[in-house]
Amino acid sequence: MIAIVDYGMGNIRSVEKGFAKVGADVRITSDPKIIADAKGIVLPGVGAFRDCMKNLDNLKLLDSIVKEIQKGKPYLGICLGLQILFTESEEFGICKGLDVFNGKVVKFRFEGNQQLLKIPHMGWNTVKLARKPPIFDGIQDNSYFYFVHSFYVAPEERTIIAGTTEYGIEFTSMVWKDNVFATQFHPEKSQELGLTILKGFKEFVTAQ
């Protein structure tokens, strides 16, 4: 069973439907015990970093999620589920994250002609693979995925970067280290290629 963490924000049902399409056994939950019993964790979400951390803290989920990651349990973070893995975010003032990875979450800042680019970055864009995670089996370099975000992660450890995307600047759009996979884009909104990623995560979890 894969636990989809419900902390009151984001597109939980669309993620659940995506996993159902690839035959995964998923359960939406905010119960730390169920998360501990699950074979894998998915943390999706859209919205403000601070609200996300506050909601997870109120539900007593912060320590449990970090503990399960440290145990080696497969984790898939989507959008906010990627960003909260880092040390801190500058959104609405500095807010601490889970600090699984060293680095910050920063806002797009454009100058000159780049100011014509809209924030949030919304719509389809390509992901250039720096390293190919096992959950990306069958997906080609520079494939298109769906994005919607105003902030992006800036990792201090370059070795965790698995994919980058161009939007005024080149930013990190995917990270991977051992059991942790996380994307800035939304697999559940990215049609067949997105489902391929969800299937890849399901198979990674099953293999553990």
The pLDDT value recorded for residue 113 is 67
Are the C-beta atoms of residues 106 and 122 closer than 8 Å to each other? Answer: no
Tens digit of pLDDT for each residue in 69-90?
Answer: 999 999 999 999 999 999 999 9
Based on the structure, what is the number of domains in the chain? 1
Share of the chain above pLDDT 70, in %: 100
Are the C-beta atoms of residues 45 and 6 closer than 8 Å to each other? Answer: no
pTM comes to 0.96
Rounded-to-integer distance, Cα 133 and Cα 201, Å: 10
Taking all residues of the chain, what is their mean pLDDT, rounded to a whole number?
95
Residues of the chain with pLDDT under 70: 113
The pLDDT value recorded for residue 82 is 98
Nearest to 78 by CA among 154, 130, 16: 16
Rounded-to-integer distance, Cα 146 and Cα 185, Å: 6
What CATH number has the domain bearing residue 181? 3.40.50.880
Q: Can you give the residue range of the structural domain that contains 114?
A: 2-207
* CA-CA-CA-CA torsion sign (159, 165, 169, 172): negative
Which residues are catalytic, by number?
79, 186, 188
The pLDDT value recorded for residue 9 is 85
